[in-house]
Amino acid sequence: MMISLTGVRRTLAASLLAGSVLAAPAAHALEIKSSDVHPMGYPTTDAIQYMSDLLDTWTAGRLKIKIFHSMQLGGEKEALEQVQVGALEMTRVSVGVVGPIVEEFNAFALPYFFKSVDHMHKVVDGEIGTNLQNKLEKGGLIGLGYMDAGSRSFYNNTRPIKSIEDLKGLKIRVMQNPIFIEMVNAMGGNGLPISFSELYTSLQTGVVDGAENNPPSYESGKHYEVAKYYTLTEHLMVPELFVFSKKVWDTLTPLDQQLIRKASVMAVEKERELWAAREQKSLAAIKALGYEVITDVDKAPFIAATEPVRMKFGEKYADLIKRAAAVK
């Protein structure tokens, strides 16, 4: 059965706000163990803490979440495997990690798959995103919601990128993914896969001229010190997922399942608020330090240049791409 965010809001809001859940028959207590690679204080971990507080309040302490942050239980792949077998109840992962389970998620990593943050929210919160989440059940997962992970944009230390011509010849660090390498190459740059841990030194020594990432990563990593021009090309917007173990989920009462879904909807809204604030804070900090942030960018040439990349890597997802593009 398809379960949408809107439907959960509509069917549960009245009962929760009226406090009727506290009068429901008692069920067993559960401490939900949740994993995240990020530290506490990050939008994703803060949102899950908010979710825990909601469940704790609604059930008088019967349901709560214990967050294992900062890779305490391993990386995203390891945590996901633990959730699949029921050793861990919940985790937050990038959609690329669930690509082997539902390959359509790989389409989200195509350049300019989403037109804007608002478009991304409408796609993932609507029929498309809901259908993809439901397909996760075949991999032993219950999809609870999509969180923001920011928009990736270019930065470099050679010249301001004010048009696609300014990318020509620049050596740009990308993640080790052929889509991202060809994306940069299609725009006229030279995509070089380098680990994030080596990026600062690579920028400092000229191994690469620039890189691409979201504003908080650029700011917190102090990459502005070695790459002073930041341009909001927003060529990638890859949402993230938090998922629950189906093995554990099937042992819960229908009421507890509803409570978790409702808290998940509210956690998604909280995370998106926190992420937007975090991005603005980072951009303000960069500008305050005197570094240039270029916001007036004509994205049309960037979108056109990357069309061959979407065609090559997105051929099997052509229908999905078409349906997503039609979402208003």
For every residue of 53-82, DSSP letters joined together read HHHHHHTTTSEEEEEE-TTTT-SHHHHHHH
Tens of pLDDT, residues 1-34:
444 554 544 444 444 444 444 434 457 899 999 9
Within the chain, residue ranges assigned H as helices are: 5-18, 43-58, 76-85, 117-125, 127-135, 178-186, 199-205, 215-220, 246-249, 254-288, 300-305, 307-313, 318-325
Tens of pLDDT, residues 125-166:
999 999 999 999 999 999 999 999 999 999 999 999 999 999
Tens of pLDDT, residues 258-286:
999 999 999 999 999 999 999 999 999 99
What pLDDT does residue 28 have?
87
d(CA 279, CA 283): 6
Question: Which range among 13-22, 70-79, 110-119 shows the weakest confidence by mean pLDDT?
Answer: 13-22
Sign of CA dihedral 33, 35, 40, 41: negative
Q: What percentage of the chain exceeds 90 in pLDDT?
A: 90
Q: Is the pTM of this model over 0.75?
A: yes
**Neighbouring C-beta atoms of residue 32, cutoff 10 Å:** 20
**Neighbouring C-beta atoms of residue 182, cutoff 10 Å:** 18
